[in-house]
Chains A and B, each alone.
Chain A
Amino acid sequence: MKHIITRDLTFAYEQKPEDNAENFALRGVSVSIEKGELVAVLGHNGSGKSTFAKHLNAILLPSGGSVTVAGIDTTEEDKLYEIRRRAGMVFQNPDNQLVASLVEDDVAFAPENLGVEPAEIRRRVDEAIELVGMQEYKRHEVHRLSGGQKQRVAIAGVIAMQPEILIFDEPTAMLDPRGRAEVMATIERLNRERGITVVLITHYMEEAARCGRVIVMDEGRVLLDGTPREVFPQVDRLREVGLDVPQPTQLMHDLRALGFSQLPGDVLTEEECVEALVAQIGGAHA
């Protein structure tokens, strides 16, 4: 089932974009995402990736083309709350997303506002907090948590609305490596165990390499779209648009460029890299 469909989506922040083509942040994005996919969207600042993400739960509405989320056209005004409930969004800065002082109060905020029954709120809050691995901190004060913990509470707050789709706009950009790992593991778990469709906007190539699909955006268009193994070996192309590739991929690419073409070009992980090198150089036990 197609969960997210954008057709020739264009968007301009200016009111009269026809004056200048450069005013378009999106210039014809056609993407379709299946239910249960885990998709990373990469691109440098200004590539349009955040603008794209904000179209997926109707924070922004298209200047041209269309966006359909869980079968609903995002321009249907009377369905706005329905779209926001079904497609939840998590932003970069956890401090801007938390509203209550206790963890469980914060997670209960959205279902309370949706008018959910108290007993059901309790059940949902407990479940959401457990899903992000924060059960020990249920009654802790939000402001005393680490960045990674805060971000997991923010995710739980969105989960409590029982969305089918989660959109993450650089959720790990402000976190340290440990916080990043915690949040990434949580995202993967929600996708794997709950079948939630995930769109992850990120700068971190290592995170994108763990997704099933990678979309690379540049100048408001889709530049590349495929599995990490199809996308990352295009090292020169990615560098041209200001992106990195995972270090193991880069290392193999650089060695191949020196003439060692016997090495594979589609390596993503450190383990694969080591296997390929041991096969060529030979380890002591080879």
Chain B
Amino acid sequence: MRNIIEAKNLSFTYSANTPFEKAAVKNASFCIAEGDYIGVIGHTGSGKSTLIQMLNGLLMPSAGEVLVGGRPVWEKKKCRRDVRFTVGLCFQYPEYQLFEETVYADIAYGPRNKGLPEEEIDRCVREAARLCGVGDELLQRSPFELSGGQKRRVAIAGVMAMEPEVLILDEPTAGLDPRGRDEILARIREYRQEKGKTIVLVSHSMEDISANAQKIMVLSRGEIRFFDETKRVFEHARELEEIGLGVPSVTRIFQMLRARGVDVPGNVYTLSDATRVLAERLKGGGRDA
């Protein structure tokens, strides 16, 4: 697979040369391949938001460079404009960014700025609305009349409507109830399946990340601690807990079982895997295991 994003020795320092100077991202190098589903996790202040803002040219790196589709983001002004459409960024609590008079106009804002012809804009809007579960009956309503969950889906549709090659979502499920959370995550999976695009999901929730991402990037104090396949990252359960990140509850249960001498794998992180493994052990095991 072709690399859609390459980051080379990326660093970012806030308020450089002042008493508040803070290195938010330090020397990060990584590649994201086309079609990947990447989960980014790290506690508050670990540099997650700073990092993703460098990936679509919103922040200029203090050092290093970002290539999107092989082109350096900061080389030409034209590249910076293009990269905003290639890498779509959906911020935390995006429902606060709705501003148009109708849901339709709000979702159409991105594709319109992209300079698409009107019928193409219409197609993008309707498709994104469908993918995000925003019904036709809502399109002519004011976004401010909608419920919190509906607003969130409209805001995500607004980014999806640009059909970016890479869709980055910063905490898309924050503050939602379990049903709302499952719905949003399912919509993102559908988008990826239908369009074959790359997804970067930033989240505090190990459960959400582990159930969705193929690869996980773990950030701590501005550095990439791990960037690997999901199951490999969970092999480092102890380090993850040391840097203040929870591992899924089932992973901890399996670690505790191992500590008690029960022979189970250490990298189980989903409920379905846990159930499967334990069912086998319970069947075959018995007390003599």
Binding site for B on A (CB under 8 A): 43-46, 92, 146-147, 170, 173-174, 176-179, 203, 242-244, 246-248, 250-251, 254-255, 258, 260, 270-271, 273-274, 277-278, 280-286
Contacts and interface: CB of A to CB of B under 8 A. Distances in A.
B175 A173 contact: yes
The 8 closest A-B pairs by CB, nearest first: A284-B261, A242-B179, A247-B249, A283-B260, A283-B261, A44-B177, A281-B285, A274-B256
A181 to B, nearest CB: 9
B44 A176 contact: yes
Contacts of A179: 44
A45 B180 contact: yes
A280 B282 contact: yes
A282 B275 contact: no
Contacts of A44: 177-180
Which of B43, B180, B275, B279 is the most central at the interface, judged by chain A CB atoms within 10 Å of its CB?
A: B275
Interface in B238-286: 244-246, 248-250, 252-253, 256-257, 260-262, 271, 274-275, 278-279, 281-282, 285-286
Contacts of B279: 255, 258, 260
A280 B285 contact: yes
A270 B289 contact: no
Contacts of B175: 92, 170, 173-174
B147 A284 contact: no
Given A45-B147, A176-B43, A283-B257, A242 B178 contact: yes
Which of A176, A243, A274, A286 has its CB near the most chain B CB atoms (within 10 A)?
A176
B22 to A, nearest CB: 11
A251 B177 contact: no
B275 A283 contact: no
B148 interface: yes
A44 B182 CA distance: 12
A174 B285 CA distance: 43
Contacts of A244: 178
Interface string B22-40: 0000000000000000000
B257 A274 contact: yes
Contact of B252 (A43, A203, A270): A270
B2 interface: no
Residue in B149, B175, B287 whose Cβ sees the most chain A Cβ within 10 Å: B175
Given A274-B256, A285-B261, A250 B271 contact: yes
B253 A274 contact: yes
B288 interface: yes
A147 B171 CA distance: 15
A278 B282 CA distance: 10
Nearest to A205: B178
Q: Which of B43, B177, B245, B278 has the most CB of A within 10 A?
A: B177
A282 B178 contact: no
Contact of B262 (A176, A258, A273, A278): A278
B50 to A, nearest CB: 15
